Structure 1
Amino acid sequence: MNVWLRRTNACAALALLGLALGGCSALRTDFVKRPSHALPPTTSTPSARYVHAAADQHPQQSGFRLMTDGTNALMSRVALIDEAKHAVDLQYYIFKNDATGRLVAQHLLAAADRGVRVRLLIDDINVSHEVGMLDALNASPNFKVRLFNPFHTRKPSLLSKTVQLLFSPSRLNHRMHNKSFIVDNNVAIVGGRNIGDDYFSVDRTTDFRDLDLIAIGPVVKEASRAFDEYWNCPAAYPVTAFRGKRANHYDLAQLRANLGRDARHFAQTDYAQAAAQDYPDGPSGDRHGAWFWGPARLVADQPAKIEPHQDNPALRIGPRIRAMTDQTQHELLLVSPYFVPSKQDVRYLVGLVARGVTVKVLTNSLASTDEPAVHAGYSRHRRALLEGGVQLWELRPAVGAPQPATAKGTSSGVSLHAKAIVVDRQQVFIGSMNMDQRSKLLNTEMGIIVDSPALAAAVKQFFDNASRPANAYRVILVARGLPHAGQMRWLTSDDGKPVSYDRDPGVSMMRRLEVWALRLLPIEGML
């Protein structure tokens, strides 16, 4: 989730800025927006023939591979783009103009140059330095870019965006948080990763640990239908829907040259060399090997969820996720980087424990989170969860944080970004949805629900590795009857030796004071 958006909401609760927008809106009303839809699945490429042959052996089921490693997650996307024959559709909350963002853009443009239709839909909240790149990409006849729920001005400053948000919160506070990547209507990637260095383990100062699913089979067509709904909805604006100079073929040619140069430089980095070595053993969609098979369905909020005063549960995926967790008989695993349960959610989880269900939650610690406001909302309910028997683990940011076997090195900036649910080691949800009020009510979200014990076991292994004492803090209440009965403790291990803390570890007094102040603000519904 976007740090600026949450902190802007927190600041808005403190005071209203007495500023006027001024000037005219840069959004045009006379722009042309032609609807388009997913193309039929391709069958003419070697990877397409392999995918169809594999799916034909499992009627009514979809196949999945779990990507826990950032390097493989990046290289799989690049490989699938390079295999594309007819169409690539991408929908993201963030698409950064950094090393990996430009690498993906370079391969997408190369695909467009050979005749592949590319549709790129990005939420406008984080678009700033990306404007020039997106405009130039849109100048390609085979490459179309749209922005979801855009701000009024094309190149807004941070102050301008903040003011616009404060004056139009009912519209601009609702964002598209979906993440999907679909190639030739044959293979889809759905999960928690955006496009940017942070999500592919490139930037070791901010290294998001995440989960993606590569999918084949019937669920891919469901993903394409969901993409079309967003692409053609009223909130999706072409990048040409703004006044001002438009990019032309000269800008596109310059971008093509710059992206090619950057891609060559990136290929020489240590990261790229390591990624190339890891990739042959990774789970990309075009390689033969094992898949997790099972009945699956894609769930996605309707775009109309963002409409002001629109609070229709039929538009949201929350009720379908709740129907899944209601079936829990033995064990419920929740993985959410931004975990802000409401009082009703706390009662629900504690109620599951009361009827014999083991409930385990993995989230970020105060030291690993990138959003203190979220931790303030979570910490309000932490004691009630513990008293009700819910088991809590908070990821550590330091050396020893959970890493896949192929990862290179460690990071002091590790932060959890995966979103997953496992019910009774049988059903799995992986997607973009955090377990907070913003995902529930404000943003649009999506994900895949799969009935597969084998996939559930793989996600459980991710949970177990992440929650080991060296990788996470186990938060407990000291047993009743002992000194300081009911006091919270954080248990972990350093160099194999047990260590405990009596307050949020690994942070400064100023960070604790910041969270304490944020807890006083009525912002929980916006987190």
Structure 2
Amino acid sequence: MPNPTRRAAYISPAQWAERAQWLQWLLPSSLQLRRLAGLLLLGIAAFCMAGCAGLPTDVQRTPSTAIANGADTTLGRLVQAAMPPGEPLSGFRLLPMPQFSLHARIELARRAQRSIDVQYYLVQNDETGRYLLRALRDAADRGVRVRLLVDDLYTAGADPLFASFASHPNVEVRLFNPFPAGRDRFGTRWAWSILDFDRVHRRMHNKLYVVDNTIGVMGGRNMANEYFLRDGGSNFIDIDTLVAGAVVPRLSSLFDMYWNSPYVYPIGALVPPTGESPLQLRERFDRLTSGPGQLHPEEPASTDLLGNNPLAQDLDAGALKLVWARAEAYADAPVKALAPEAARGLPADEARDSVLYNVRRYLRGAQNEIVQTTPYLIPGRGGMETIRLVRGNGVSYTIVTNSLAATDESLVHIGYRRYRADMLRLGVELYELSPKRVEQTRRFGMYGSASGRLHGKSAVIDRSTVFIGSMNFDPRSMLHNTEVGIFIFSPQLAQQLTSLVGFMRLDGAYQLQLGPSGAIEWVSPASGDAADTILHQEPETDFWARWRLNLLAPLVPESLL
């Protein structure tokens, strides 16, 4: 396997994991050109053999739904005991620090008694992904029903891992919108599906983890090293939330909507039988997920940025410390991505149950202030209409996104920079994350020499409404991917998230402004009485990175970003 620390020569699957990254091969490096040439040859071969590769048609999908009620489980009783009297509310705890977020998922798996439902865009075949699968396997061995639903885009070469995991009693694995052939390699998958591009580039971007239908974790993190400070090259700043109580059955129903859709396929329908017995498959799973180099993280030793203990301490003490509030959860229907165009229903910005519709609804209803984070920012016509509307109403608008140096999607930066000046003219306070400053601060974790990149998708509206989810503010989330998100109506959580975003702005970002000539400037705040530093070109980048971007800018249509 290529060395993931050699970022100039290798882009790891998790770094590709927000966009149709095949576009990156257009960048003019010799290795990328060789990759492109190889894919073109494979594409020609696939074209010549068109019709040989197709998804299986006679697929047995046994319907199943979330358990009816988890109130009689240990976790359910803890949630009921913590819930305040009166109207049923939902409980939340923000998880801004990666070690606390991974710890929460694993502890919930260890304490599950009836069911675990897991839905992710990416479960990587790395130390983090295998560690999660072992925790889920251990729960299944105790009799817990485990349903794992993964988007198929980045599962290349992982069929043996998922098939051996599915061989355990009480475990089911299904893949969303799978590739029918060439499954061992990312490139061969695309080559065999080159004539079916309009289908395979549409993905399930959701992230959801629910235990005993009573408590779970949702937010922006996938299950891969980069999301939990375990990658040697780059790691993400992200946000999840623990969620319990009244809204959890709604989240479970959203999971069921995907699990029982015709666009998911059991792993057994895609992977030919190997002739191994169930026992041999389970032994293979042990070999694949154990041995040197596997993950054995310890419980976080202190409190997190918000003063919360590791979840295990609260669970052991029998007292969940949560913020209780009213909440609403939404997910795009699977048909948004994969149904025939005539059957997809209303577009996402008009469908009342879609994530985008409700994000825009609450943003446009703001009265005073919006604070927003998104790693990929391409507002498009609808987003700019929202910004003009709220700014026209006197609402302050702050956005934190990635700089060119921080983004893992340099082509997406082309789409973003087309809007920067217009947003600044409308009075948007625009901040871009600085990898160097993130490396220097320890507030969000020990990044050391690894690059820090923003991945969190969130918004705070009028310091009273919080949005956390999987949706980027870009055309891909609007048009091609499915998303999930939650709105929490809590001034306390809004204050916490506003503070976290404030830390990012102060400790790890440049503020953008328009200079006297109208050109964009980047302001790096100084400490003490020193003057701020003003930069006049994309900070922390070299000439060639900027030149390549300028070369490609006229060639990249916004709808593909």
Higher relative contact order (CA 8 A, sep 6+): 1
Partner-residue secondary structure (3-state), 2:501 = helix
- Per the normalisation by structure 1, the TM-score is 0.91
Measured after TM superposition, the shift of residue 86 of structure 1 is 0.7
Match of 2:335 in 1: 304
Question: Is 1:337 aligned with 2:375?
Answer: yes
Q: Is 2:73–2:212's contact at 8 Å kept on the other side of the alignment?
A: no
Structure 1 spans left out of the alignment, 5+ residues: 479-483
Measured after TM superposition, the shift of residue 410 of structure 1 is 3.6
Match of 1:473 in 2: 510
Q: How does 1:197-346 map to 2 (within 5 A)?
A: 197-242=225-270, 244-246=272-274, 248-249=277-278, 250-261=280-291, 266-267=295-296, 272-273=297-298, 275=300, 281-283=309-311, 286=315, 288-306=319-337, 307-309=339-341, 310=344, 312-313=346-347, 314=351, 316-346=354-384
- My pick for the range that moved more, 436-445 or 309-318, is 309-318
Match of residue 128, structure 2, among 100, 123, 131: 100
Between the aligned partners of 1:467 and 1:58, the Cα distance in structure 2 is 39
Between the aligned partners of 2:319 and 2:445, the Cα distance in structure 1 is 22
Partner-residue secondary structure (3-state), 2:20 = helix
Displaced runs of 4 or more, over 4 A: 9-18, 276-280, 401-406, 494-497
- Per the normalisation by structure 2, the TM-score is 0.86
**2:132 alignment partner AA:** V
Between the aligned partners of 1:399 and 1:381, the Cα distance in structure 2 is 25
Match of 2:16 in 1: 3
Distance 1:260 1:161, change over 3 A: closer
Match of 2:497 in 1: 459
Q: Is 2:476–2:560's contact at 8 Å kept on the other side of the alignment?
A: yes
Measured after TM superposition, the shift of residue 45 of structure 1 is 4.2
Partner-residue secondary structure (3-state), 2:549 = helix
Q: How does 1:150-189 map to 2 (within 5 A)?
A: 150-153=178-181, 155-164=183-192, 166-189=194-217
Between the aligned partners of 1:57 and 1:180, the Cα distance in structure 2 is 27
Match of 2:553 in 1: 519
Between the aligned partners of 2:193 and 2:527, the Cα distance in structure 1 is 47
Q: Is 2:402–2:453's contact at 8 Å kept on the other side of the alignment?
A: yes
Q: Number of matched residues?
A: 516
Match of 1:481 in 2: none
**2:331 alignment partner AA:** A
Measured after TM superposition, the shift of residue 374 of structure 1 is 1.0
Match of 2:9 in 1: none
- What whole-Å deviation, never above 9, does each CA across 1:383-406 have from its counterpart, x for those lacking one? 111111111000111144596757
Measured after TM superposition, the shift of residue 33 of structure 1 is 1.4
Distance 1:126 1:217, change over 3 A: same
Between the aligned partners of 2:493 and 2:476, the Cα distance in structure 1 is 28
Q: Is 1:6–1:373's contact at 8 Å kept on the other side of the alignment?
A: no
Measured after TM superposition, the shift of residue 437 of structure 1 is 0.6
Q: Is 2:163–2:271's contact at 8 Å kept on the other side of the alignment?
A: no
Distance 1:462 1:410, change over 3 A: farther
Partner-residue secondary structure (3-state), 2:178 = coil
Measured after TM superposition, the shift of residue 251 of structure 1 is 1.8
Between the aligned partners of 1:97 and 1:238, the Cα distance in structure 2 is 18
Measured after TM superposition, the shift of residue 499 of structure 1 is 1.6
Q: Is 1:364–1:394's contact at 8 Å kept on the other side of the alignment?
A: yes
Measured after TM superposition, the shift of residue 347 of structure 1 is 3.4
Q: Is 1:401–1:472's contact at 8 Å kept on the other side of the alignment?
A: no
**1:417 alignment partner AA:** H
Q: Is 1:350–1:390's contact at 8 Å kept on the other side of the alignment?
A: no
Match of residue 520, structure 2, among 485, 488, 507: 488
Q: How does 1:18-29 map to 2 (within 5 A)?
A: 19-21=44-46, 22=49, 24-25=52-53, 27-29=55-57
Q: How does 1:383-462 map to 2 (within 5 A)?
A: 383-400=421-438, 405=443, 407-408=445-446, 410-462=448-500
Q: Is 2:300–2:310's contact at 8 Å kept on the other side of the alignment?
A: no
Measured after TM superposition, the shift of residue 345 of structure 1 is 1.7
Cα RMSD after superposing both structures: 2.6
Between the aligned partners of 1:492 and 1:274, the Cα distance in structure 2 is 36
Between the aligned partners of 1:351 and 1:3, the Cα distance in structure 2 is 34
Measured after TM superposition, the shift of residue 185 of structure 1 is 0.4
Between the aligned partners of 2:320 and 2:382, the Cα distance in structure 1 is 44
Measured after TM superposition, the shift of residue 156 of structure 1 is 4.2
Partner-residue secondary structure (3-state), 1:461 = helix
Measured after TM superposition, the shift of residue 525 of structure 1 is 1.1
Between the aligned partners of 1:402 and 1:302, the Cα distance in structure 2 is 42
- What whole-Å deviation, never above 9, does each CA across 1:51-107 have from its counterpart, x for those lacking one? 112225352311100000000111111100000001000000000111111111111
Measured after TM superposition, the shift of residue 317 of structure 1 is 2.1
